[in-house]
Amino acid sequence: MKDRTAERTTQIASIFPTSPVTEEFIGRAGEGQLTRDENPYTHLCVYFAGYDKEIKKVFIGHHKKSGLWLFNGGHIDEGETPEEALEREIGEEWGVKIKLEDIGEPKLLTITPINNPTKQKCTKHFDIWFFVPLSETEFKPDQLLLETEFHTTGWKSIDEARELITDPNTLLAIDEFEKLFN
Question: If you ran DSSP here, which 8-state letter would residue 122 be given?
Answer: -
Q: Which long-range contacts (CB under 8 A, 24 or more apart) does 83-90 make?
A: 83/8, 85/44, 85/46, 86/46, 86/48, 86/130, 89/46, 89/48, 90/48, 90/132
Q: What is the DSSP string of 34-76?
A: -STTT-SSEEEEEEEEEEETTTTEEEEEEETTT-SEE-EEEEP
- pLDDT score, position 66: 87
Residues 6+ apart with CB under 8 A from 11: none
pLDDT at 76 over 60: yes
The confidence score (pLDDT) of residue 65 equals 87
What dotted CATH number matches 4-181? Answer: 3.90.79.10
**Tens of pLDDT along 31-51?**
999 999 999 999 999 999 999
Whole-angstrom Cα distance, residue 34 to residue 30?
Answer: 9
**Percent of the chain's residues with pLDDT above 70:** 99
Is the Cβ–Cβ distance between 128 and 112 less than 8 Å?
no
Number of neighbours of residue 4 by Cβ within 10 angstroms: 11
DSSP character for 77? Answer: P
Confidence of residue 2 (pLDDT cuts 50, 70, 90): low
Displacement of CA 49 from its chain's centroid (Å) = 7
Question: What is the rounded CA–CA span in Å between residue 22 and residue 179?
Answer: 21
Domain assignments of the chain as residue spans, ordered by start: 4-181
Does the reported pTM lie above 0.85? Answer: yes
